[in-house]
Amino acid sequence: MTATHTRSTAPATPIAPATPTSPSAPTSPSAPTASSVPSGCKTTYREAMREALREALRGDERVFLMGEDVGRYGGCFGVSLGLLEEFGPERIRDAPLSESGFVGAGIGAALAGMRPVVEIMTVNFSLLALDQILNNAATLLHMSGGQLPVPIVIRMTTGAGRQLAAQHSHSLEGWYAHIPGLRVLAPATLTDARYMLAPALADPDPVLVFEHGSLYNVSGDLPADAGPVGIERAAVRRPGTDVSVITYGGSLPKALAAADDLARAGISAEVIDLRTLRPLDDATIGESVARTHRAVVVDEGWRTGSLAAEISARLAEQHFYDLDAPVERVCSAEVPVPYARRLEEAALPQAATIVTAARRAVGEPLPATAGPAEPQPVDRGVGGAG
């Protein structure tokens, strides 16, 4: 039995068309659809994701979208709005409230030669399908001796900052980045939202795409030269010389805002967008730290056992003698994410806390109101030492 769901308001070489193994509905020329988004035009993150789905559905009849409310409702966050009218119910499939069931069906479809895109409403609900993702999608290629690839794409919304309280504000992508056999993506820009899906569908392995909920309404101009992107490398979003700020997803805008603040104080921060969380691009991270000799890792996950902890450990292992200061980590407070706005903001990484960490890293004096980082309390369990 699954949990009750609450609706929120809210490349590589292109895949060659293939003969479908199941019938697909014809495109209706009169069906109302959202407008296409060519490069050089103003768009939103949501619209860019929608156009990526539309392109994939048009380009390969094996591709279909499945999940809760993706059809008539247009997706919990409006990403698939209009696609049901354009492609029909065989290609845009509304699923029942059973993540284990429809993720498992997607894995079966991938094994049978289809290219499913499965949407899970929010990352917390993916836990109901964890057995399918971990024990099936991630392991079947290995357990079959290379005979059974699982080319499935699983999309889900992640992250906090929208007052959705503790059960709908998780950042669990670091958990999935722990699992061999998966590729884990975190598009943070309009270009990546528009173009990451194609190489994800071309990948023979299961790909998880984490879309931060705070980004859907972000708008801007899709660069005129925007086009196919790779999914192997991190990106330098802002060059700098004094400190490397390493982040991804919904924390990227905060890191860029912090870099602007630091620049006004004479500190040049280089901002690295990880883009792919598994496998991590050690080379780009290391090259940046070799230039700046200091690192701040920003991760909306909890600090203990986090993606930030993994990156910090790799920097210590691989670049110990490049570092002139300890690696700083800016993570969420180790509490269930609060509902109250001010408490939620206090619990999450913010531009101001990134600035404070960067100033510590470069040895700059902190403002009078910003002291050293408060140590996180240790949960010693029942009967533990006080």
Which residues are part of the catalytic machinery?
99, 168
Residue 86: which H helix or E strand, with range? helix 83-87
Calpha distance 379→354 (Å, rounded): 25
Spell out the SS3 assignment of 272-327. EECCEEECCCHHHHHHHHHHHCCEEEEEEEECCCCHHHHHHHHHHHHCHHHCCCCC
Calpha distance 156→164 (Å, rounded): 15
Six-digit token string for 131:
């057995």
Neighbouring C-alpha atoms within 13 Å toward the C-beta of 369:
3
**Paired strand residues for 154:** 118, 208
Calpha distance 45→62 (Å, rounded): 25
Burial of 304 (0-12, 13-18, 19+ CB in 10 A): exposed
Q: In this structure, are residues 218 and 262 in contact, taking their beta carbons and an 8 Å threshold?
A: no
Burial of 342 (0-12, 13-18, 19+ CB in 10 A): exposed
